Amino acid sequence: MGIELRNRDFITTQDFSKNELDLMLDVSYDLKKKFALGEPTRYLRDKTLFMIFYDESTRTRNSIEAGMTQLGGHAHFLAPAHMQLAHGEAAKDTAIVLSRFGHGIAIRHCLHGEGNKYLNAIAKHSKTPLLNLQDDVYHPFQVLADTMTIQEKFERNLRGLKVVISWAYAESHLKPLSVPQSQVLMFPRYGMDVTLAYPEGFDLMPDIMNQAKQNAEETGTKLEVSHDMADAFKDADVIIAKNWGGFYVGETEEAIRKEQAKHKDWICDRKKMEMAKKHAIYMHALPADRNREVTDEVIDGKWSVIYDEAENRLHTAKSVMALTMGGRP
């Protein structure tokens, strides 16, 4: 039986089988090759995607918008402050109307406790696919690009690779849990052994961790937790060190930031990177809080693949859009 992804929502990779995710990656590679060769890929000619951004974006907005253009369609950027959402319009009404106007709805809404609920409310009433551009629980586009990047740097069979997903200190803003949560869910499904490192109290959502442990058990991979950053880096193949908010260490932003400030030594630097394997790579979803999360020496150095990772956001975004909004008639 063939794989059919047309009209499927893309909220979390957990909703898709390994074969379906493989297809997304295969199409990403094909689109990347055609982009390099300058070959047209107008698979979504005359189709429209509505993008609603509750939060700021550089890579996500531009990978989606440029991707839709390259696929022959058009993406509308919508700011909630300039929509009737600002006056309290119900998710149901927004979803029904926009899905009658076009062919897909994509939303970024990262507010803790609200984003994922809102995306699911839109998806429930939309007649077109709902694409998650990041919420407070998941960031599926990012982890698909991360997986593609790791495959490019190592090989398509990633079994036995040690990946460290580490918390790091930052001051820019309280970053969502969605990136590390998507990674701990996805990477074990591709055979990677994951070490999740963070200061005590900076846990991910319990339900997500339970799902991740189940994924690891089903694939025979390791999922370990460490509260020692340097120790976690030992013999790692891939280092992903970035901040996430400590939503379980305080009720207010002030309280969370006070707890974060106790861990300024959680920075990815040369000394820690040299504890990893010689071929180890450093990844970050960007934007990075330079010289707090990671030193310039690392993020600009021999280990870093951050710009390859960022570019792959374009190719994986195009793949998901082509497969969910296009596909066989």
Angle at 311 between CA 310 and CA 316, to 5 degrees: 100
Q: What's the rounded mean pLDDT across residues 79-100?
A: 96
Cβ-based neighbour number of residue 19 at 10 Å: 8
Q: Residue 206 to residues 95, 143, 221, 243: CA-CA distances in angstroms?
A: 30, 19, 19, 18
Cβ-based neighbour number of residue 32 at 10 Å: 19
Q: For 17-60, where are the E strands, in sequence order?
A: 48-53
Could you tell me the pTM of the whole model? 0.96
**In this predicted structure, what is the pLDDT of residue 1?**
44
Q: Helix 306-325 crosses helix 59-70 at what angle (to 10 degrees)? A: 50
Q: What is the pLDDT of residues 1-58, one digit of tens each?
A: 478 999 999 999 999 999 999 999 999 999 999 999 999 999 999 999 999 999 999 9
**In this predicted structure, what is the pLDDT of residue 129?**
98
Distance separating alpha carbons of residues 28 and 105, to the nearest angstrom: 21
Distance separating alpha carbons of residues 202 and 123, to the nearest angstrom: 30
* Structural domains in the chain plus CATH codes: 13-139+313-325 (3.40.50.1370), 142-309 (3.40.50.1370)
Q: Which helix (H) or strand (E) holds 324?
A: helix 306-325
| Radius of gyration (C-alpha) of the chain in whole angstroms | 19
Cβ-based neighbour number of residue 33 at 10 Å: 11
